[in-house]
Amino acid sequence: MIDIQYSAEVRAAKDAGRPIVALESTIITHGMPYPQNIEVAAQVEQDIRDAGAVPATMAVIEGKLHVGLEPDQLQWLGQAQGVAKISRADMAACISTGETGATTVAATMIAAHYAGIEVFATGGIGGVHQGAETTFDISADLHELGHTPVTVVAAGAKAILDLAKTLEVLETLGVPVIAHGQDAFPAFWSAKSPYAAPLRMDTPEAIAKAHATRRALGLPGGQLVANPIPIADQIPAEILAPIIAEAQADADAHRITGKDVTPYLLQRIFEMTEGRSLTANIALVRNNARLAAAIARALVEQG
Ligand code: PSU
Ligand code: MN
């Protein structure tokens, strides 16, 4: 067994059987610029507490798997240089070699499941990249959703991705994609994409019940809850489309590949929107944290 280093708050919540929501750390180290990254990380944790659950931000620090970070550890991680971005493929190596890594959606799901946490909030999952028919760039997040029984609340998949192909792969992997409160699959910075989500649920209780039913059936794999960004905070898709296309063209011209693609695109879009993409990103993560807390509470209440 791997030793888990729990934060004091998560340890107490586990002992008392209180609802817990997992959070990833790649969004802190690779998804947002300093110092907003640290402010947002602390704010999102507080949003979860205010909604009646306990936040558990995941990271590997010097080879130790942390489930819940103390405030000083969160501050440190947000400024640390050279932190690895770890997914399913590199998580064990990061722990065994004593290195420090921030967890992606895939690695956070693994850590959450290992710690007995069933609900996780993030911004957007990774998915099938544009041009994947030649690059084969498909995020390990999708396979993790097919394997690991955690309900992930995200604002859909990032609009830098090929959403139609992302939905097809999720269907192939048997992942329920549940839009919250609308029919359309959301597009991260925009509330709606042109694609319908395969499922729709309007309450956290219904989502919790679906999660528990999958567990009762013994199905491996998680659920993707696609929670639209609040309309007041969204960036209309038609404004973003040319910006995303230009960012993608830059990434291709600079031959950015592998793990570097997503952080590169997010940073370019941040620059080209003069920070507006970050403001929207913050709003949608907070919105997801609140829904995830309500789902975690419903799961505990439903027993
Ligand atoms: N969502 C965000 N910002 C991010 C990410 C998601 O709002 O930075 C990160 C997540 O950690 C996700 C990862 O798992 O990007 C996907 O990376 P890739 O496309 O390389 O699988
Ligand atoms: Mn990739």
Q: Which two tokens stand for residue 74?
A: 């969160």
What is the average per-residue pLDDT within 178-182? 98
- Return d(Cα 299, Cα 303) in angstroms, integer: 6
Q: What residues does each domain of the chain span? A: 1-117, 123-303
CB-based neighbours (< 5 A) of ligand 2, an ion = 137
In the predicted structure, residue 47 carries a pLDDT above the cut 90: yes
Q: How confident is the model at residue 303 (pLDDT cuts 50, 70, 90)?
A: confident
**Main-chain dihedrals φ then ψ at residue 59, nearest 5 degrees:** -165, 160
Query: Measured between alpha carbons, how far is 271 from 247 in angstroms, rounded to an integer?
Result: 10
Percentage above 90 pLDDT, the chain: 97
Q: What is the pLDDT of residues 223-270, one digit of tens each?
A: 999 999 999 999 999 999 999 999 999 999 999 999 999 999 999 999
pLDDT at 287: 98
- The model carries a pTM of 0.97
Pocket lining: 37 vs ligand 1, CB cutoff 6 Å: no
- List Cβ neighbours of 2 (8 Å cut-off, separation of 6 or more): 65, 95, 114
Q: Is the CB of 287 under 6 A from ligand 1?
A: no
Give the residue-averaged pLDDT of 187-215: 97
Mutate to test the pocket of ligand 1, among 105, 188, 262, 288 (most ligand atoms within 8 A of CB): 262
The reply to whether 1-117 and 123-303 are identical in fold is yes
Enzyme catalytic residues? 24, 158
Does residue 99 surpass a pLDDT of 90? yes
What is the model's pLDDT at position 233? Answer: 96
Instruction: Kindly report the length of the chain.
Output: 303
Instruction: State residue 97's pLDDT score.
Output: 97
Give the pLDDT confidence of 64-78 residue by residue, as tens digits.
Answer: 999 999 999 999 999
Q: Say yes or no to pLDDT of 157 above 90.
A: no
pLDDT at 186 over 90: yes
Question: Span 1-117: which CATH code?
Answer: 3.40.1790.10
Q: Are 113 and 222 in contact (CB under 8 A)?
A: no
Q: Are strands 199-201 and 177-180 parallel, antiparallel or unpaired?
A: parallel
* Distance between Cα 100 and ligand 2 center (Å): 20
> For residues 165 and 137, is the Cβ–Cβ distance under 8 A?
no
Residue nearest to atom 19 of ligand 1 (CA): 126
For 208-234, what is each residue's pLDDT tens digit? Answer: 999 999 999 999 999 999 999 999 999
Distance 83 CA to ligand 1 centre (A): 15
Instruction: Report the topology of domain 123-303.
Output: Indigoidine synthase fold (3.40.1790)
Q: What is the pLDDT of residue 143?
A: 98
**Of the candidates 67, 192, 220, 211, the residue with the CA atom closest to the CA atom of residue 153:** 211
Beta strand 119-121 pairing with 177-180: unpaired
CA distance 181 to 229: 11
Count how many Cα atoms sit within 13 Å of the Cα of residue 87 in the half-sphere of its side chain.
17
Position 158 pLDDT exceeds 90: no
Residue 294's CB: how many other CB atoms inside 10 A?
22
Q: What confidence tier does 159 reach under pLDDT thresholds 50, 70, 90?
A: confident
Tell me whether the omega of the peptide bond preceding residue 198 falls within 30 degrees of 0, making it cis.
Answer: no
Cβ(277) – ligand 1 distance below 6 Å: no
* Ligand nearest to the backbone CA of 154: 1
In angstroms, what CA-CA distances link 194 with 162, 163, 272?
A: 12, 9, 24
